[in-house]
Amino acid sequence: MSYRPSQSRYESMEYRRCGRSGLLLPVVSLGLWHNFGDVDDLENGRRILHLAFDSGITHFDLANNYGPPPGSAEQNFGRILQQDFHGYRDQLIISSKAGYTMWPGPYGDWGSRKYLVASLDQSLQRMGLDYVDIFYHHRPDPNTPLEETMMALDHIVRQGKALYVGISNYPAEEAAKAIQILRQLGTPCLIHQPKYSMFERWVEGGLLHLLEREGVGCIPFSPLAQGLLTDKYLKGIPEDSRAARPTGFLKAEQVTPEKIAKLQQLNEMATKRGQTLAQMALAWVLRDKRITSVLIGASRPEQLTDSLQCFRNTWFSEEELAQIEVILR
């Protein structure tokens, strides 16, 4: 039976304006960094995508190197897009990125015009698309002039291969320069994608203030600290968790007894708020109106269902915020 999206999907989601642009994004966006590669179950990925769209998630975030193997997440997403979302392209925001190693040799990495233009062409081919809605430079390149990288992003928009552009992982000082260059070129920076969670707070040191001042949106990735800010690690490291895998981004040595004690205290707070730990961790990020959307991943539809409750209560009392600071210290 062919997929038919829920008729009430837009009633169950909150949307926020992305900086000073005309674009609204759902407060929860779905990232395909994990769980959509060739090593994963395609039907499970399909169920997650169906649930996301049925719940009002319109924004799907990819990158050239997502998989594994690199490129396979875009290919699998493209396959599901053609089969199940035919006719809904204009209701979707699809983003991709380039900036990390994608192919061997000097032209498959970093931030040259050569790499960014070629990479996006490959991404579009894999997904079967004419354009992406947002194209990001994935990380700053210390060896390529920032002007070249930003001119490549401007060129891509003028080619019609992306509607908007963004940057990711840029510290505040470099982000300020990039935003300035793009504005002068006539292709404003729409959005910044930094790592931000209760355990990773560098953006509070100036980046959020910069984005607010410049009218640029913010969409944090890893708001659950690679799954650490869920009830999965309250008693240690489960065998089927990311921290148990030698190749994962979350290392076993990061799950210290001290960290587990903090998680347990945060979990007690979440329970008092009527939330799971994951819901509270996401709500804590979304409490700040400078945040446009949180980017979450899901390995099962049930995880997504849980996370989607986060924006039902993003209000924190002064006492709660102070208590969180004490726990995190």
Q: How many CB atoms lie within 10 A of CB 90?
A: 5
For the chain, how big is the Rg over CA atoms in Å?
19
The residues that bridge with 189 in the sheet, in sequence order, are: 165
pLDDT at position 233, please? Answer: 78
Torsion, Cα 233 238 240 246, to 10 degrees, reads 90
pLDDT bracket for residue 51 (50, 70, 90): very high
- Do 140 and 171 meet the contact criterion of CB atoms below 8 Å apart? yes
Fold for domain 9-227+287-314?
Answer: TIM Barrel (3.20.20)
41-45, 259-263, 269-273: the lowest-pLDDT one: 259-263
Measure the CA dihedral 99/100/102/103, to 10°: 90
- The per-residue pLDDT for range 151-197, each reduced to its tens digit, is 999 999 999 999 999 999 999 999 999 999 999 999 999 999 999 99
